[in-house]
Chains A and B, each alone.
Chain A
């Protein structure tokens, strides 16, 4: 278990699942969940390379900034989704096409 490749494979599978969620889900909130999975897999990669590259702490700092960015992204994305819901009465991202109404 204790090898770099194990973690890289786990992160790759997590990334693929997140990508699958983003491209097949049509609900805006569900797409957001897929994006969270992708961000987590990226973080896993950062920390795996930090550990096996001689405990380079820059990886930890990067992971920290990714988490901060994810928090900001989730807040703004949900504000946008709620606005879309108020305007269109749906959050199906395929139905949201009109630029003005």
Chain B
């Protein structure tokens, strides 16, 4: 009962703040709403038995990407100007199209016989993820590190002031 209430509260928090992210007129409020969405998704990861991924979500998304986004807002607006705001265009037709996508997705979810296997909750997932990364997924792991290095150098290159 208690866990049910917690679950639905988290779902409401996640989806409500996600709505705020896309609807709010003030860009900075959108960024703050995104913080709550990311925390909500991390909590849903815990419900999905993904403890390690929940930690990674908080550290990388909240600690890294969100800070980058707020930096982006601050650097592309004059702080002194009052309206760090932004407008949306064609909300009506956009909402209609997205609603169509949602209906198609919902019908697809309801009508597909998903392959489901009962399983008991594992004690922790970190050890398994570590083993898999070092054994089966070693090449993607190394490629990901190369991607991060390339992104680091590329971002520094791009944002450097031209001589």
Contact = CB atoms under 8 A, between A and B. Distances in A.
A78 B69 contact: yes
Nearest to B104: A12
Contacts, number: 222
Contact of A23 (B31, B48, B94): B94
Contacts of A23: 90, 94, 97-98
Contacts of B53: 43, 47, 60, 63-64, 67
A1 interface: yes
Interface string B72-88: 11011000000000111
**Which of A49, A68, A85 has the largest count of B CB atoms less than 10 A from its CB?**
A68
Contacts of A44: 41, 44-45, 48
Given A12-B102, A67-B60, A79 B158 contact: yes
Interface in A22-66: 23-30, 32-34, 36-37, 40, 43-44, 47-55, 57-58, 60-61, 63-65
A25 B68 contact: no
Nearest to B156: A79
B88 A8 contact: no
Given A34-B22, A51-B48, A91 B76 contact: yes
Given A76-B154, A80-B158, A81-B76, 19 more contacts: A5-B110, A7-B48, A12-B106, A14-B15, A14-B37, A21-B21, A23-B94, A26-B86, A29-B72, A33-B31, A36-B65, A36-B69, A37-B21, A53-B116, A57-B129, A61-B129, A63-B50, A68-B60, A79-B159
Nearest to A5: B109
Main secondary structure on B side of the interface with A: helix
Contacts of A65: 140, 144
A61 B97 CA distance: 33
A40 B37 contact: yes
